[in-house]
Every structure is written in C-alpha cells, then in structure tokens.
Amino acid sequence: MRVAVVKESAPGERRVALVPETVQKLRQGGLEVLVEQGAGDGAWFPDDTYTAAGAAVTTTDDLYATADVILTVTRPDEAGLRRLRAGQAVIGMLAPLTDPHLARSLAERGVTAISLDGLPRTLSRAQGMDALTSQANVAGYKAALVAADAYGRFFPLLITAAGTARPAKLLVLGTGVAGLQAIGTARRLGAQVSGYDVRPASKGEVESLGATFIDLTSGVSAAGEGGYARELTAEERDAQQAELAGHIARHDVIITTAQVPGRRPPLLVTADAVAAMAPGSVIVDMGSSQLGGNVAGSVPGQSVVTQNGVTIIGAENLPASVPTAASNAYSRNISALLLHLVTEGELKIDTTDDIQAGVVVAHGGEVVHPAVAKLLAADTRTEGIEGDA
Ligand code: NAD
C-alpha cells in the first residue's frame, strides 16, 4: 500500500503530516511512503531526510496518481481535493463537524475520509493517536510565550538594584489540554496564575499545577459528553460573563481556550470586560477563528489594540508556529492511527471498531459518521454551527 504525504497549503501552515523518523516505522510496517517535494521544508525536514528514511520524494502529479492513502495535517486545498479519486483515502484533521460539506463531496466522489478530530479521546488504547491533544499541548505552550512577548512587563517577580517588579497576574479561561499547558508554561515563566473552566473536574487539575482555581458563585457547571463541556444556556452564559468580568479586570494577562465541539466558541470576555482592563493588559484568544472567538473584538490571525490600551491577539493556528514539535507529535498520532487501520497491507474499514466509528467520516460513497450525517440532513444549518454570538 502506498501512503503519501502532501505539502500543506493553508496560509501560514508549516506542519507536515509525517516526519522522517515515522517514515521508517511505517516502512517497517510494510508500507511504501511517498512525499511531495518540499513537504517538510516548513518544519525543517528537507527532502533528503525523507529519502534517507526510505521514502520516495516525488511530484504532486505522481503522488496523487499513485497513492492509496493521502496524509494531511489540515484539509487539502481545492486543487488537492480535485485530484483525489474514487478508492483513495485521505486522513487528516478534516474538521467534519464544522465543514460537513467536505465530507459529503468526498463521499460523492468515492473517497474514504478519515478525520483525527473524531477520535474517542477517553479510550486509553487511542491515546497515542490523539492529535487534538498533541496539538493543543503545543498551542497552550505557545500561547503563554505569545502573551509574554506582547506584555510590556515581566512575568516573574524580579528584585533588582533598579527596583522590584511584581509578578504578572495571568488568568487562563478554559482549562482543558491547551489551558493546562498554558498554565504550566506561564508558571515556569514566573507568573501568578489562575484558571477557570465550566467542567468541575478541571479544578483539581488546575490546582495540581500550582495555580488558583476561580470558583464562580453563579455555579455554572457544564460537563458534557466525552469529557467535553456542553454549550451553556443564555442565562448561564450571561451569569458567567458578568461574574468573570470582575476577575478579568484584576488580571494583567488573559489566555482563553474555550471550545465546545461543533459549536461556535463561547464568548467569555465581553467588550465591557475588555474596557475594564488596565492599559498594557494582554489577551490571547485561542478560540479565535472564522467562527468567532472567546473575546469580543478579537480578529483571527491579528493583534489589535483597543482604545483603552488592551492588546487582543487572535491566535488562530499556534501549532503551526512551533512546526517541528507539532509535526513530530502529529506524525506519531497519524501513523499510530494508520497502522491501526491497516490489516495485511490494506486499509480495512470497520466502523464496528470504537476508534474507526469515531474517525471514519465517509466511505463507500456514503457519509458514515452519524454526527456529520445529521448535520448534513439538517441542511438549513448549512454552516454546521449553532449557538450564541
Ligand atoms: P476543548 O478544546 O474542547 O475545550 C477547551 C476547554 O474549554 C475545555 O476544558 C472546556 O471545558 C472549556 N470550556 C468550554 N466552554 C466553556 C465555557 N463556556 N466557559 C469556560 N470554559 C469552557 O477541550 P480539550 O482541551 O480538547 O479537552 C476536552 C476534554 O477531554 C477534557 O475534559 C480533557 O481532560 C479530556 N481529555 C481526555 C483525554 C484522555 O482521557 N486521554 C485526552 C484528551 C482530553
């Protein structure tokens, strides 16, 4: 079976789906590996490192014409999609809950679509395949660095002959994988860190990292399915926003990471909350995307300074800015999934398997993933998104 790694084409995307070290492992598993010319350049893996690992570096035309499975980080671009043919499979982070129409168009063309976003994350045998976690870890780490870079003061307490600097007060809103990594990194940089999440289970995790957990008196508790948060009701959201605003104003740096799968990211920092912050404060909005963000006024991929001197950074794709580490981890995840799907050198699709049921989106001309099929059936919600503003 021929497995091919494409060069990512999304703006600013520097990751690559497979790194040379993993090429060797796949070859030991009996797979042939093709790599599009320059695929690893952005992550500092030149073509010759793939050749040395036993891959064949080739042209885009040859790769799409001869590969059985295409490996990507994010969804292929339009040109790549047009090249896919019936019987081929594509594996990547295809975000089918936010873009169900991609799944439908791949199904219509007989392409098997497999998305790492759907992996059941609490299944211990799937942990090595969990790309959402590995990439969120990278993103949380980088968010703390981005915040420190934009902040005009020190993060740590510094006592020098020129005076004493108090430590920065940093608040992380949303303490899942990325939030906890941001807390750990900010603590190592010396900031005084607090965290908040709607899932009650996260309190212990925040405290175990030496940060303070903020308990809201409004007591919003929203554990959802599969370890995720559920979407808040309008009343819960209003109570949460109002109470958070007071805490936000007392902090110098805010990092937001809140997500609810398949929904618009919840708004946690309102325009009033931003207006109450001191000049020089910094907010890094990791929820920032074309769907909206966690912070009023954040713009994906941009840094804006408000009238009252608050810098709001719309941190859209932080893993791409740590491309080597992010690619190393992603490569292990995608190859573990691939080897799980392969039996006797062939891709064997079997959605009675828990892992496959989560990741296989389209196969045999059908959208087979129930949640994606449901979104497509309810075609009035063509964006695949519900929720608040
Ligand atoms: P995510 O990226 O979906 O969301 C980030 C955080 O935002 C979550 O902690 C969520 O609770 C929080 N959030 C959502 N709405 C919010 C709101 N209105 N206000 C405040 N916070 C809000 O989450 P994630 O980091 O991918 O993790 C999701 C869950 O999966 C977590 O419980 C995590 O511990 C769990 N997980 C488990 C495993 C495992 O068991 N192996 C692996 C990975 C993740």
Rounded to 5 degrees, what angle do the CA atoms 289, 291, 297 make? 65
Q: Is the CB of 175 under 6 A from ligand 1?
A: yes
**Cα of 175 to ligand 1 centre, how many Å?**
7
Residues 6+ apart with CB under 8 A from 70: 4, 6, 63, 64, 76, 80, 84, 88, 89, 90, 91, 92
Q: What is the reported pLDDT for 225? A: 76
Q: What is the reported pLDDT for 389? A: 34
Count of Cβ atoms closer than 10 Å to residue 381 Cβ: 12
Q: What is the reported pLDDT for 228? A: 84
Burial class (CB in 10 A: 0-12, 13-18, 19+), 124: exposed
CB 172 within 8 A of CB 257: yes
How many Å apart are CA 374 and CA 369, to the nearest integer?
9
Q: What b/e string do you get for 64-92 counting C-beta neighbours within 10 Å, with b at 16 or more?
A: beebbbbbbbbbbeeebeebbeeebbbbb
Q: Which of 24, 32, 5, 16 is CA-nearest to residue 342?
A: 32
Alpha helices in 78-224, H assignment, sequence order: 78-83, 100-108, 131-150, 177-188, 202-208
Q: What is the reported pLDDT for 38? A: 98
The label of the residue with tokens 């510094």 reads 158
Q: Which of 206, 154, 174 is CA-nearest to residue 293?
A: 174
How many Å apart are CA 364 and CA 374, to the nearest integer?
18
Q: Is the CB of 127 under 6 A from ligand 1?
A: yes
Query: What is the residue-level pLDDT of the chain in tens, covering all 389 positions?
Result: 999 999 999 999 999 999 999 999 999 999 999 999 999 999 999 999 999 999 999 999 999 999 999 999 999 999 999 999 999 999 999 999 889 999 999 999 999 999 999 999 889 999 999 999 999 999 999 999 999 999 999 999 999 999 999 999 999 999 999 999 999 999 999 999 999 999 989 999 999 999 999 999 887 788 877 778 888 999 999 999 999 999 999 999 999 999 887 778 999 999 999 999 999 999 999 999 877 899 999 999 999 999 999 999 999 899 999 999 999 999 999 999 999 999 988 999 999 999 999 999 999 999 999 999 999 998 655 444 444 33
Residues 6+ apart with CB under 8 A from 188: none
Q: Is the CB of 178 under 6 A from ligand 1?
A: yes
Q: What is the reported pLDDT for 386? A: 43
Alpha helices in 209-298, H assignment, sequence order: 234-249, 271-275
Q: Is the CB of 266 under 6 A from ligand 1?
A: yes
Q: Which of 319, 281, 317 is CA-nearest to residue 302?
A: 317
CB 100 within 8 A of CB 376: yes
Q: Measuring from atom 28 of ligand 1, which residue has the nearest CA? A: 228
How many Å apart are CA 95 and CA 74, to the nearest integer?
8
Burial class (CB in 10 A: 0-12, 13-18, 19+), 344: exposed
Helices (H) and strands (E) in the chain, counts: 13, 19
For residue 341 the two structure tokens come to: 């799907």
Q: Is the CB of 225 under 6 A from ligand 1?
A: no
Q: What is the reported pLDDT for 70? A: 98
**Cα of 321 to ligand 1 centre, how many Å?**
22
How many Å apart are CA 268 and CA 264, to the nearest integer?
12
3-state DSSP call for residue 75?
coil
Burial class (CB in 10 A: 0-12, 13-18, 19+), 159: exposed
Q: Which of 193, 194, 190 is CA-nearest to residue 157?
A: 190
Q: Is the CB of 126 under 6 A from ligand 1?
A: no
**Cα of 203 to ligand 1 centre, how many Å?**
12
